Amino acid sequence: MRFFHLSDLHIGKHLHLYSLAQDQAYILEQIVEQAKVYRPDAIVIAGDIYDKSVPSAEAYQLFDRFLTALSELEPMIPVFIIAGNHDSAERLQFASSFLKKHQIYISVLPPQTKEEHLQKISLQDEYGEVNFYLCPFLKPGYVRHLFEEGEVTDYESAYTRILEREEMDTEKRNVLVAHQFFVNQDTKPDTCDSEYSVSAIGGLDAIDIRVVSDFDYVALGHIHGPQTFAGERVRYCGTPLKYSVSEEHHKKSITMVSLKKKGELPEIETIPFKPLHDVKRIKGSLEELLSRKDSTSDYVSVTLTDEKELYRPKDSLAERYERILEVTLDNSRMRALQEKLEEAYTWETKKTPLESFREFYQMMQGQPLSEKEEKEVTEILAEMGEKTV
């Protein structure tokens, strides 16, 4: 059984002020072309189809063209899609009944009633049955009502209880498609700047991979850098494009998973993406950067090292670089300023809450706290457990 594992398309995303629609269309076309070449038994997309819960018309059209192109492949390739934390369940579910007729299966919410279960699709190969369980992004509050009081207290207990309800046949090969933050005991996945919207990343939302230990492969979305846990059995495939400068060195690719017979680790291959435009950092003096011979069409974060004052350097850079994300300075003056700011911040953080309130009151009222007012503030801070000295 061979399938593509994809996630975090984030269709409709912008990189700084630049729309990535053209770049995303280019990548989605590559997925379709590689599906023609490798003829996978299924294509899995593990959440965050869109970048916003209310996608633009352009984003809808782009995803529609992608699904249409996949559905036209013969023989037809099943596509399994779950909602991520960026997706709107209602919008992603639109036309799901029609899409199912074309073997495009979409799961947008975890079970909502005691009778409901995770969507499961079964495929066959020479070793027998493979069950794909689709578990969209969930929070404890989404499923707490399905269980007795106290059974679901956090993300990990919610996930544990939801999977237990499935009474999965562990004698068969089972694949989980999920969009959550998983950890391996104290080991957390590497994250990057484009995951800023993951509310509690690495904190209260963490789920240990022991919860999914019965699965033969866990196809994860949510983290933007490709990486594995537990050998090759639990994997974040990463985004198909670089969505922040912090991903400069990521190797973006389609993850192709080959399941062998029960008990054997899956075989992982990666099919590299060729982006329309790369994302990278460049650093040097203005003269050096203007004389470089590399690509002029990539998305670039520029750091200038000139010591002398420059007149509108971005205008000069824009004559050579088409897609400038930002221009920053790194010279002795900027480093000295940064040191002063850090010293000032350190001094501020050493102040007690009472000292800070004294300064705030003086600034706002033009006079210091009276003895009575200071006593009242001290009592309030003491009730809050704050130090006053």
- For the chain, the structural domain boundaries read 2-272, 279-332, 351-389
Q: Which CATH superfamily is domain 2-272 in?
A: Metallo-dependent phosphatases (3.60.21.10)
CA 34 to CA 268: how far, in whole Å? 16
Token pair listed for 127: 């070793």
Q: Report the DSSP beta bridge partners of residue 329.
A: 304
Place of tokens 């992608």: 66
Q: What is the pTM of this model?
A: 0.84
Q: Are 123 and 78 in contact (CB under 8 A)?
A: yes
Coil/strand/helix, residue 141: helix
Q: Are 287 and 307 in contact (CB under 8 A)?
A: no
CA 236 to CA 256: how far, in whole Å? 12
Q: Are 70 and 39 in contact (CB under 8 A)?
A: no
State pLDDT tens for residues 3-43.
999 999 999 999 999 999 999 999 999 999 999 999 999 99
State pLDDT tens for residues 205-221.
899 999 999 999 999 99
Q: Are 12 and 59 in contact (CB under 8 A)?
A: yes
Q: What is the mean pLDDT of residues 169-184?
A: 96
pLDDT above 70 coverage of the chain, percent: 94
State pLDDT tens for residues 80-128.
999 999 998 888 887 777 788 889 999 999 999 999 999 999 999 999 9
State pLDDT tens for residues 270-298.
999 999 999 999 999 999 999 998 878 99
